[in-house]
Amino acid sequence: MFRKSLLDFSWLPWAVGGSLCNRRPATRATCDCEESERQRVLVVGAGLTGCLVSNLLRRQGPPGLEIEVWERATYPSGRFGATFSFEKKPLRNGGRSDGTGNWVDLGAQVLSAVEVGSGHPNAGATGHNVSASDVAACWREVQGMVDEGLLERVPEEMLAETEERMKYEGLWAHFWCRWGLGYLLRRYISQASAHLRLGVRAEAIAFERGGQVTVRGSARGCGGASSMQAQADVVILAVPAPDAVKVVQLPRHVANTISGIEYDSRTAVAIFFDPVLQEPVARAFQGLAEVSLDIHSKEEVHLVSWQNAKDKSFAHGDIVRLVVHSAEGVSLNGPGPALEALSVMLGLSAALLEHLLLDWKVVDWKVCQMVRPFESLQTDLELELSEPALRVSGSPIILAGDYWCQSSFLGCFCSASAAVRQALASLRRCPPETSSRRNTCSTDGHL
Ligand SMILES: Cc1cc2nc3c(=O)[nH]c(=O)nc-3n(C[C@H](O)[C@H](O)[C@H](O)COP(=O)(O)OP(=O)(O)OC[C@H]3O[C@@H](n4cnc5c(N)ncnc54)[C@H](O)[C@@H]3O)c2cc1C
């Protein structure tokens, strides 16, 4: 059973989607204040890793720990939680969408974790830079969300056979969230009681030995750009590898290693069609949730995923929600190629599809999933790294993210768990009485 209260994020109405204007501002107008003496962790990035880090810190950290999260986007999203929603619009058939429930997952289509206890010889084993205990904890986390009615396991045969989908005879299990994967991130952050600052980009992180970490950045708001500065006892940088090297000065061998991590790139095109297309779309998918178009060829369009399958919204009048994914390395500028591919798939003219198109959005994932992960690099960093997160030597700055192990929920969970262990060890070394910090921000662009 799905409980209504699970959908209540009244604390976050200003944080989900849209611009920051007309919503609660992401930054205080001006402030220059002595902060309390409580210990503080600043998390940069509210993607899956950052949201998990915040949540695990709240669960495992000391009482009263301050958790602040800076996210440059307008809602907690990243590659896992990116969502696009259909706005209220009149439909061609005279009906009207109220905008609710009409979302698509624009990044990850499913939550993937290793099924511990499945009988597969590698299920729950240590390897690929993750420990058996973290893999097991991840599986318990997923099972907890299933028990709460947040996740539903996807029958594997409903998912397309693609080169990046991890189908290894029962090793992985894949799940949907009937409100979209972004819902899980909002929930993680909500439960963490973290101070979430949206539209805030971290630009430089510095640490002076014996002192605190200072993070500088900029905030986008209704009144224009403003500079931000915050101090924290520990900073966890939960951003992709190319972003991490931009904001923190790393020892050369660490920077070189991280720069060697490579990701593929793809485009996702969200397509909303008038409900009259429900029948032909259902016929084309034949009970599947994904159709792979280029498995044996090099077409521009790779995969089409049917979002209505995730929340079973097949009722008369339900808008048809599709996401068309490009082939690796292909960048689509608009909905044109997606409509052409759908025209072939559905056996309908592209002109008719264009006529029935209600809304669309293109997201170009320049950083998508890893094709050259950390473990494939030849580096002496392995000697320093026993876990999928790295504490920058001599500082309480911790690098976390899927790039240390795996582009998946499992990879992010294991990295977040490791980062939290390192953060808590660092906080124990630095008792609260010794910390004194200032938080400043100004709207005139100068600190
Ligand atoms: C197309 C696609 C398909 C996928 N399929 C699956 C799948 O089937 N199953 C699965 O489990 N996983 C899948 N994944 C992988 C999964 O989504 C990623 O592993 C995961 O989202 C990585 O999370 P992250 O938090 O480490 O990084 P990100 O999601 O990239 O989050 C980083 C966040 O940091 C923010 N940020 C960056 N720089 C700054 C800065 N300077 N200041 C402030 N904020 C900053 C970004 O805006 C972003 O929100 C897929 C991903 C993609 C893109």
Question: What are the tens digits of pLDDT across the range 217-254?
Answer: 999 887 788 999 999 999 999 999 999 999 999 999 89
Residue 1 clears pLDDT 70, i.e. is over it: no
pLDDT number for residue 283: 95
79 alpha carbon – ligand 1 mean position (Å):
3
* Least confident range of 39-53, 107-121, 134-148, 153-167: 153-167
The phi, psi pair for 337, rounded to 5°, reads -60, -35
pLDDT band at 105 (very low <50, low <70, confident <90, very high): very high
Token pair of 184 as six digits: 């899980």
Q: Could you tell me if the CB of 239 is within 6 A of ligand 1?
A: yes
Say which DSSP state 86 is in: P
SS3 24: coil
Alpha helices in 212-357 (DSSP H): 241-247, 252-259, 278-285, 308-311, 336-346, 350-356
Of 42-56, 104-118, 200-214, which has the strongest mean pLDDT? 42-56
Q: Are the beta carbons of 76 and 190 closer than 8 angstroms? A: no
The domain locations on the chain are 33-261+377-447, 266-365
Least trusted range by pLDDT, from 44-53, 80-89, 202-211, 283-292: 80-89
Give the tokens for residue 14. Answer: 């200003």
Ligand 1 touching residue 78 (CB < 6 A): yes
Query: Could you tell me which residues are beta bridge partners of residue 224?
Result: 221
Angstrom distance (rounded) from CA 183 to CA 159: 21
Q: Ligand 1 pocket, 201 CB below 6 A?
A: yes
Q: Is 243 in the pocket of ligand 1 (CB under 6 A)?
A: yes
pLDDT per residue over 376-393, tens digit each? 887 777 666 779 999 998
Answer yes or no: are the C-beta atoms of 345 and 284 closer than 8 Å: yes
Measure 181 CA to ligand 1 centroid, in angstroms.
12
- b/e map 349-373, b = 16+ CB within 10 Å: eeeebeebbbbbbbbebebbbbeeb
Does ligand 1 lie within 6 Å of residue 220's CB atom? no
Q: Which atom of ligand 1 is nearest to the CA of 403?
A: 26
**HSE (CB half, 13 Å, CA atoms) of 217?**
27
> By alpha-carbon position, which residue is closest to atom 17 of ligand 1?
80
Ligand 1 contact via 202 beta carbon (within 6 Å): yes
Of 54 and 24, more confident: 54
Instruction: State in Å: Cα 428 to ligand 1 middle.
Output: 30
Task: Tell me the sheet residues that pair with 195.
Answer: 68
Q: Name the residue at shortest CA distance from atom 3 of ligand 1.
A: 108
For residue 50, the CA-to-ligand 1 centroid distance in Å is 9
266 Cβ closer than 6 Å to some ligand 1 atom: yes
Decide: 388 in ligand 1 pocket, CB within 6 A: no
> Could you tell me if the CB of 44 is within 6 A of ligand 1?
yes
* Mean residue pLDDT across the chain: 84
| C-alpha to C-alpha distance for 409 and 416, rounded to whole angstroms | 10
For 171-196, the pLDDT digits (tens) are 899 999 999 999 999 999 999 999 99
* Residue 13 in tokens: 């109405």
31 pLDDT exceeds 50? no
- Residue 322 has, within 13 A of its CA and on its CB side, a CA count of 29
21-35, 104-118, 167-181, 409-423: range with lowest mean pLDDT: 21-35
Tell how far the Cα of 298 is from the centroid of ligand 1, in angstroms.
26
Task: Considering only the C-alpha atoms of the chain, give the largest distance between any 2 of them, rounded to a whole number of Å.
Answer: 70
CA–centroid distance, residue 48 to ligand 1 (Å) = 6
79 C-beta closer than 6 A to ligand 1: yes
Out of 9-13, 33-37, 236-240, 356-360, pick the least confident: 9-13
pLDDT band per the 50, 70, 90 thresholds, residue 29:
very low
Q: Poorest-confidence range of 28-32, 107-111, 237-241, 395-399?
A: 28-32
In ligand 1, the atom with minimum distance to the C-alpha of 365 is 53
Comparison of pLDDT for 124 and 388, the residue scoring more = 388
Q: Rounded to 5 degrees, what are φ and ψ at 140? A: -65, -40
pLDDT beyond 50 at 147: yes
Q: What is the pLDDT of residue 208?
A: 82
pLDDT of residue 400: 97
> Is the Cα torsion angle 236, 240, 245, 247 positive or negative in sign?
negative
- Report how far apart, in Å, the C-alpha atoms of 230 and of each of 34, 43, 203 are: 11, 11, 12
What phi and psi, each to the nearest 5 degrees, are found at residue 186? -60, -35
CATH topology of domain 33-261+377-447: FAD/NAD(P)-binding domain (3.50.50)
Q: Is 24's pLDDT higher than 50?
A: no
Question: What's phi and psi for 375, nearest 5 deg?
Answer: -65, -15
Q: Higher-confidence residue: 299 or 332?
A: 332
Q: Is 400 in the pocket of ligand 1 (CB under 6 A)?
A: no
SS3 393: coil
Confidence of residue 7 (pLDDT cuts 50, 70, 90): very low
